[in-house]
Amino acid sequence: MKIDKEQLPPPQTQDLRRRCPACAAFPRLALSMLNPTNGTTIRLYECRCGERIWDERLPK
């Protein structure tokens, strides 16, 4: 099966990774959990500076 370039979506041009609000570094993903009642994924990011960032997103 051959795919034409016109059928592909445009490449991502923005960096969608989270930045630490304290030091602007890129924190690492420390924990990821699924809430089975509503399907959300909860992520905990941890930065080298010690800052922790919680992120909760609904499924697409």
Residue 11: band (very low, low, confident or very high) from pLDDT cuts 50, 70, 90: low
Let me know: does 35 contact 27? Beta carbons within 8 Å. no
Q: What is the pLDDT of residues 22-44, one digit of tens each?
A: 999 999 999 999 988 888 889 99
The residue among 9 and 39 whose pLDDT is bigger is: 39
The residue among 25 and 10 whose pLDDT is bigger is: 25
pLDDT surpassing 80 at residue 14: no
Angle 18-45-10 from CA coordinates, rounded to 5°: 35
| pTM for this entry | 0.63
Let me know: does 25 contact 46? Beta carbons within 8 Å. no
Average pLDDT over residues 38-59: 87
